[in-house]
């Protein structure tokens, strides 16, 4: 495993981080229900592989992901991980802007100081811990002053309840505004071979800031793991059924991309996923690869990507081959 400092903090994080969205289940991830024993096995496998960094959020399974982690992190596991969750999205029905309805809940986005503090307290309770290593503003919102949001987060740092702050679903201008009122250690944004434009626009800002760029969606919820995955169908509500990759002509162009990737997997002796992850890691030097894990085998395979050194011409080949399937904006 390789490690990196998160931004300007002293937090030493594995370059591969454990994404816990999928373990929350619900209608978004309905095809595999995990219990505490399964999550414990995932955490123990992560430790064996050197992964020490977990990302979750209150709304992942409407509290289910955090609660599962809280149970599974008992027995001495908590101290082995940097634990990152988020604030701003909640289903308390006590204010905020409507964000979505799902599984019988109305989720609002609220970055007020009151809401941010309550989000942190709720996450501490669900995960049965005294502190959180990072809190990420899940969706940047202009309805409350950034100074108010960051002041609340800085106070929580002083109280020892959180250690660092990050942003997600934001723009470079948001990073600059937030950093007027404190340090932003991490920017977590969607970025992939099929949807690279937002990341490319953001790289100059994080380079200037010194923040770590944490990628989510590098494998596009599985669509870049195998050619037959592109032909799958998904039940109503499943996040994968809402992505553009299931529609023509993009679907056909992804199959053509796999035709380019297939000989490269033989050249490097790796999976399709490894190839895509190795390409992703080459795009920015201070990049953290956030990957969703529900199976130990997926975790093991992901870590193999760290040992792949793609030739420059193969990086370029993949970039060019993906262009016919790329989209400029992607909302998950």
CA 31 – CA 33 distance, rounded (Å)? 7
Pinpoint the alpha helices (H) of 85-178: 113-126, 146-158, 172-178
Residue 131, CB half-sphere, CA atoms under 13 Å: how many?
15
41: tokens are 């096995």
Rg (CA), the chain: 19
Looking at residue 34, the DSSP 8-state letter turns out to be -
258 and 326 Cβ atoms separated by less than 8 Å: no
In whole angstroms, what is the distance from residue 126 CA to residue 130 CA?
11
Look up 53 and say whether it is catalytic. no
Nearest Cα neighbor of 72 from 33, 31, 23 is: 23
* Inter-helix orientation angle 146-158/113-126, to 10°: 40
C-alpha–C-alpha distance, residues 77 and 209, integer Å? 32
Is-contact 137 87, C-beta < 8 A? yes
The tokens for 235 are 């039940």
For 77, other C-beta atoms within 10 Å of its C-beta total 16
- Active-site position among 53, 60, 191, 284: 60
With helix as H, strand as E and coil as C, how does 57-80 read? CCCCCCCHHHHHHHHHCCCCCHHH
Taking CA atoms, 153 is separated from 86, 120, 123, 161, in Å, by 11, 9, 14, 9
Q: Which residues are tagged catalytic? A: 60
């Amino acid at each position: 495993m390789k490690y990196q400092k998160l931004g300007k903090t002293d937090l030493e994080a594995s370059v591969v981080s454990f994404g816990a969205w999928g373990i929350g289940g619900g209608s978004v991830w309905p095809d595999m229900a995990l219990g505490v024993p399964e999550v414990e096995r995932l955490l123990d496998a992560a430790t064996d592989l050197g992964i020490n960094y977990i990302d979750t959020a209150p709304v992942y399974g409407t509290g289910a992901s955090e609660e599962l982690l809280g149970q599974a992190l008992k027995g001495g596991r908590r101290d082995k991980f940097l634990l990152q969750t988020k604030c701003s999205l909640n289903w308390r029905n006590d204010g905020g802007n409507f964000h979505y309805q799902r599984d019988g809940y109305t989720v609002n986005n609220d970055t007020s100081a009151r809401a941010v503090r309550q989000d942190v307290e709720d996450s501490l309770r669900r995960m049965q811990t005294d502190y959180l290593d990072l809190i990420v503003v899940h969706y940047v919102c202009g309805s409350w002053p950034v100074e108010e949001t960051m002041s609340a987060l800085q106070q929580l740092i002083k109280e020892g309840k959180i250690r660092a702050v990050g942003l997600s679903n934001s723009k470079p201008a948001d990073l600059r505004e937030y950093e007027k009122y404190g340090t932003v250690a991490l920017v977590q944004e969607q970025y992939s071979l099929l949807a690279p434009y937002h990341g490319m626009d953001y790289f100059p800002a994080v380079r200037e800031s010194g923040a770590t760029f944490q990628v989510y969606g590098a494998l596009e919820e599985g669509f870049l793991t195998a050619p037959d995955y592109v032909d799958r169908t998904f039940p109503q509500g499943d996040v994968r059924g809402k992505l553009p990759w299931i529609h023509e002509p993009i679907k056909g162009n992804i199959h053509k991309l796999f035709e380019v990737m297939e000989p490269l997997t033989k050249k490097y002796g790796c999976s399709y996923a490894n190839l895509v992850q190795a390409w992703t890691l080459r795009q920015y030097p201070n990049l953290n690869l956030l990957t969703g894990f529900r199976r130990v085998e997926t975790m093991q395979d992901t870590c193999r990507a760290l040992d792949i050194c793609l030739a420059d011409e193969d990086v370029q080949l993949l970039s060019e081959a993906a262009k016919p399937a790329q989209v400029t904006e992607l909302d998950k």
